[in-house]
Each structure stands twice: as C-alpha cells, then as structure tokens.
Structure 1
Amino acid sequence: MDQAEQLRNIIKANVQPHRPLARVITVTSGKGGVGKSNTAINLAIQFRRMGQKVIILDADFGLANIEIMFGAVPKHNLCDLIYQGKNIKDIITWGPMEVGFISGGSGIAGMSNLDKDYLHYIIQNLTELDEMADTIIVDTGAGISDAVLEFLVASGEILLVTTPEPTSITDSYSLLKALNRHPRYLRDTTQIKVLANKVSGETEAEALYAKLEAVVARYLKMPISYLGMIPQDTQLTKAVMQQTPVSLENPHARSAVAYEVIAAKLMNKELNKNLTKRGMAAFFSHIVSRK
C-alpha cells in the first residue's frame, strides 16, 4: 500500500458518515498586491453577518496580512499542531466578530514525512474544524509556486482575484495555465470563480473578465465563471491604512457593499447547488497525499 492510499484510509477512519463538513473556499491571485487577503478578510466578515461560523487559514507563508488586519498576534500556528502536540483549539486566534484564523506557518510541507499514528492525530484534530466552522477561507500566497498550486488543487472552490492591470490579467492566466498543465491537478467538479477587484465599475469588470475568459477558452479550455466585482474605493484604502477591514470600518462604503453582494452570491443555495462540501480533513489529505 503506497503512502497516498494510507492517507486516504486515515481520512475515511476519521470522517464519520453524518458528520457536518465545512465549505472550503480558497482565495488566490496570480500576483501580489491585487487585494487577495483583503478579499478573504472582508468576505469572512460578511459571512459572519449572515450567521456563518468562519475560520480563515492564512496560508500566505512569510507574510502576516490577516493578523495585521485583525490586530491580533497568534500565540500558536499550524506548525505547533503538527510538531508541538497542540490541539486545534490552541492554534485558533479569534479576531473581530468572532472570525477565527489560523496562521499556517511553514509546517504543511513536512506533513508527508510524519508517521502514520501521528498523522492520524493531526487529521483527527483538523476534522474538528468541520464542527467549528460552516465556511473555511484559505488565503494562499500569490503566484504559481508549488505551495500555492497544492492548496488550489485541494480545494473544490477557487476564488481568483484579479485587477484591470495588464500584468494582473497575464499572471491570472499563467496561474490557470499552471493548474491546467497537469490534468490530475484539478477535479472535474472544481469551480473557479473570478473576482474583478479595483475596477471603476461593472463595465470595466465585465471587460476584464471577457479578456481573461476569451484566452482561457481558446488555449486552456477550462471552465471559469464571473463572480462579480469590487470597485476602487478610497474608503477601502483608508481602512487598509488603519489596518482594519473596510466591512467593519465603514459598512456602507462602496467596496463593503460590494463584498456583501459577493458574499450573498456565494451563499445563494440555487447558484451553488452543484457545490460539494469536502471538509478540512479531506482538504489536507489531498495536499499531503500528493507530496
């Protein structure tokens, strides 16, 4: 039995048939500076207002955007769960509106080297997240590194943030191309949703998406969809400078209202009827089994 098969068996042993599974949304971008982490945070705030229990996994290793925006310094991170024997509750930091977040550290890459019994313990802890959250938002790093790609392929729902800048559109295409290069990377059921950020309005957002969709349809032939847009907004810029989410600082700002609209779309049952919830244990097992 190979390692991947062993991991799948561990997951099956830990996931009970009728246990609730969290929805995992992975937020990513082809380049930095497009508002990826801001999107993750503001969607989390909007989901909380809709009654959702939300946890953010900060997988943007080396940066601390989530904790800076929340004004909270985590005492522990995912490495402490993996290597120091902490439990899942120890590594969750609670921010505004009871949005939880987990600092990823850099320990995920080493999970595949752990022995079976200890991996069983870790997966068992991660499974508890499905009971603690309705929605888990994974904030990846930017670009097309192996670490980013591993998180994307583990997710059934990818939110790709891009802007009208030519380099942002090009880098978004490069990210999709990297995912498409190896068919085994993406499941047939994986949904890729494009969010146009820092646009002047709906017209520019739709034009941006049309450019990206045209080249993807021609060269990659992979399905993507348009989720919506977040307008350029001085109130959002002001909130960022004050290190607070605009959805908290100014809920009536244009950008905050736009995030509310996007959150409502993501929670619309009819629009998301084909979405399959897999939960966090399956999410991490997919990452580890590929290493």
Structure 2
Amino acid sequence: MDQAQQLRNIIKNTNKPQRPLARIITVTSGKGGVGKSNVAINLAIQFRKMGKRVIILDADFGLANIEIMFGTVPKHNLCDLIYQGKNIKDIITWGPEGVGFISGGSGISGMYNLSRDYLVYIIVNLAELDAIADVIIVDTGAGISSAVMEFLVASGEVILVTTPEPTSITDSYSLLKALNQSPRFSREDTKVKVVSNRVTSEEEGQQLFNKLNAVVARYLKLPLTYMGAIPQDPMLARSVMQQSPVSLQYPNAKSVRAFEAIAGKLMNPGNTAEVKHRGMAAFFSHIITGRKLSSTPTQNLSSSPNLPA
C-alpha cells in the first residue's frame, strides 16, 4: 500500500459520520497588493458577527499579513505542531472578536518530506479544527506558484480577489488558466467566486467581473460566480495603519457594508448547499498527496523526542 492510499485510509477513519466538517474558503489573488488579506480578515469578522466560529490559516509564506493586521504576534505556528510536538490548540492565536488564526510559516512546505507517522499525527490534529471552527479561511500567497495551486485544487471554494488595474485582471486570468490546466483540479468539486476590490462604484465592480468572466468563459470554459464589490475606502486604508480590521475599527464605513453583503451571500442557504465540506484532514491530505510523497521518509517519528506518542 503506497503512502497516498495510507493517507486516504487515515482520512476515512478521521472523518467519522458524526464529525461535522468545516467549510474551507480559500482566498487568493493573481498578484500581490490587491487587498486579499483584508478580504480574508474582514469576511472572518463578519462571519463571527453571524455567529460562526472562524479560524484563518495564514498560508502566505514569508509574510505575516494576518498577524500584522490583527496587531497580534503568535507564540507558535504550524512548525511547532510538526517539529515541537504542540497540539492544534497550542498553535491557534485568538484575535479580535474571537477569530482564531494559525501562522503557517514554512511549516506547510515542510510537510511534504515527513514520514507516515508524522503525517498521521499532523492530520489527526488538523482534523480537530473541524470541531473548533465552522469556517476555515485559508489566505494564500499571491500568484501562480505551485504552493498556491496546491491550496486551490484542494479547496472546495475559492474566492479570487481582483482590482480594476489591468495587471490585476491579466494576472487573475493567468491564475485561473493555471488552475484550469491543473490535472488535479475538479470543476465539480471547486467553486470559483470573484470579489472586485477597490472599485469606485458597484457598477465598476460588475463591469470588472463581466470583463474577466467574458475572457474566462470564452477561453477556459470555467464558470465563475460574482460575489460583489468592495469600494475604495479611506477608512479601510486607515484601519490597516492602525492594525485593526475596518469591520471593527469603523463599522459604519462603506467598505464594511460591502463585506457584510458578501458575507451574507456566502452564508446564503443556496450558496452553502452547493459547497462541498471536505474538512481539514482531507484538505491537507489532498495537498500532501499532490507532491507524490516519497516512499523514503526524511523524518522519523521515533527520532523526535518532542513528538507525542
């Protein structure tokens, strides 16, 4: 039995019928600087206001956007789960409004070379997030790197953030083209949704989506769903400088009303029904198996005294 099949068996045993599976929403963008992390954070705040338990996984390697915007420095990250024997609750940092976040750091890329025993330990821990959160928001890096693609193909729900800048539109198309060409991407299992950011009006946001959707429909035949527009808002820019989500710092700001509307659409029963809840065990296993796990592990469970038995 190869390692990929072993992981599938682990997931089968972990995702028992009585265990609720979290809804995983992956937020991404074709280029940096379009407000992706702001979208992730403020949607998380809005979901909390709707009574949902929310955790953000900061998977933007090398950057600490989530913790900077929350004004909170995490004590632990995913590396501590993998290499220091911490459990999943140890590495969750609780931010404003009770939104939890996990710093991925380099821990996610390090998972690809671990032994089966390590992976069992990690996946069983990650599966516990399904009992802690109703919604898990994954904030990816920008662009079309292999790491970003692995998160997107593993997710049942992708939110693509774009702006009216020509480079943003072009890079958004490039990301969708790369996703569409991935042999592991499933149109049936992954719904792609678009948010127009930093627009001057709702009309401009709709026009931006229409422009992108027309090209994608013609050349990629990939269905997109428009979730709404977030206006250019000086209050949002000010809140970033103050290291506080605009949804909390300026709750009456025009951008906050837009975040409320988008969150409402995402939680609409019709939207919720079409989304396949995979849970975190299946999500991460999908990412790991995509790297064709080596049958010769580079880490050995018994050689790490910090890892719980």
Q: TM above 0.5, one fold?
A: yes
Distance (whole Å) between structure 2 residues aligned to residue 287 and residue 180 of structure 1? 17
Q: Where do residues 84-95 of structure 1 align in structure 2 (5 Å cutoff)?
A: 84-95=84-95
TM normalised by structure 1 equals 0.98
Tell me the residue number matched to 1:73: 73
Distance (whole Å) between structure 2 residues aligned to residue 282 and residue 28 of structure 1? 20
Give the conservation status (yes or no) of the 8 Å contact 1:36–1:161: yes
Secondary structure at 1:271's aligned position in 2? helix
Percent identity over paired residues: 72
Distance (whole Å) between structure 2 residues aligned to residue 183 and residue 266 of structure 1? 27
Secondary structure at 1:228's aligned position in 2? strand
Q: Deviations over 1:46-102 (max 9, x none)?
A: 000000000000001111110011111011100110111110011000000110000
Distance (whole Å) between structure 1 residues aligned to residue 210 and residue 40 of structure 2? 24
Distance apart, 1:227 and its partner CA: 0.8
Q: Deviations over 1:99-158 (max 9, x none)?
A: 000000112122232222221111111010000000000000000001111111110000
Give the conservation status (yes or no) of the 8 Å contact 2:57–2:139: yes
Consecutive unaligned residues in structure 2, runs of 5 or more:
292-309
- Alignment CA distance shift 1:12-1:26 (3 Å): same
Tell me the residue number matched to 2:128: 128
Distance (whole Å) between structure 2 residues aligned to residue 130 and residue 201 of structure 1? 38
Give the conservation status (yes or no) of the 8 Å contact 1:28–1:159: yes
Q: Deviations over 1:251-286 (max 9, x none)?
A: 110001110111111111123321111111110010
| AA of the residue aligned to 1:214 | A
| AA of the residue aligned to 2:107 | G
Distance (whole Å) between structure 1 residues aligned to residue 49 and residue 182 of structure 2? 39
Q: Where do residues 45-56 of structure 1 align in structure 2 (5 Å cutoff)?
A: 45-56=45-56
Tell me the residue number matched to 2:154: 154
| AA of the residue aligned to 2:115 | D
Give the conservation status (yes or no) of the 8 Å contact 2:26–2:155: yes
1:265 maps to 2:268: no
Consecutive unaligned residues in structure 1, runs of 5 or more:
none
1:190 maps to 2:199: no
| AA of the residue aligned to 1:205 | G
| AA of the residue aligned to 1:153 | V
Tell me the residue number matched to 1:213: 213
Distance (whole Å) between structure 2 residues aligned to residue 182 and residue 48 of structure 1? 34
Q: Deviations over 1:179-229 (max 9, x none)?
A: 111242235221000000000111101110111011101111111111111
Distance (whole Å) between structure 2 residues aligned to residue 147 and residue 186 of structure 1? 17
Distance (whole Å) between structure 2 residues aligned to residue 65 and residue 110 of structure 1? 21
Give the conservation status (yes or no) of the 8 Å contact 1:156–1:187: no
Tell me the residue number matched to 1:200: 200
Distance (whole Å) between structure 1 residues aligned to residue 169 and residue 199 of structure 2? 13
Tell me the residue number matched to 1:143: 143
1:107 maps to 2:107: yes
Distance apart, 1:6 and its partner CA: 1.5
Give the root-mean-square deviation of aligned CA atoms.
1.0
**Which deviates more, 63-72 or 104-113?**
104-113
Give the conservation status (yes or no) of the 8 Å contact 2:159–2:192: yes
Give the conservation status (yes or no) of the 8 Å contact 2:3–2:116: no
Tell me the residue number matched to 1:97: 97
**Which deviates more, 4-13 or 251-260?**
4-13
| AA of the residue aligned to 2:43 | L
Distance (whole Å) between structure 2 residues aligned to residue 272 and residue 53 of structure 1? 15
Secondary structure at 2:141's aligned position in 1? strand
Tell me the residue number matched to 2:280: 280
Tell me the residue number matched to 2:302: none
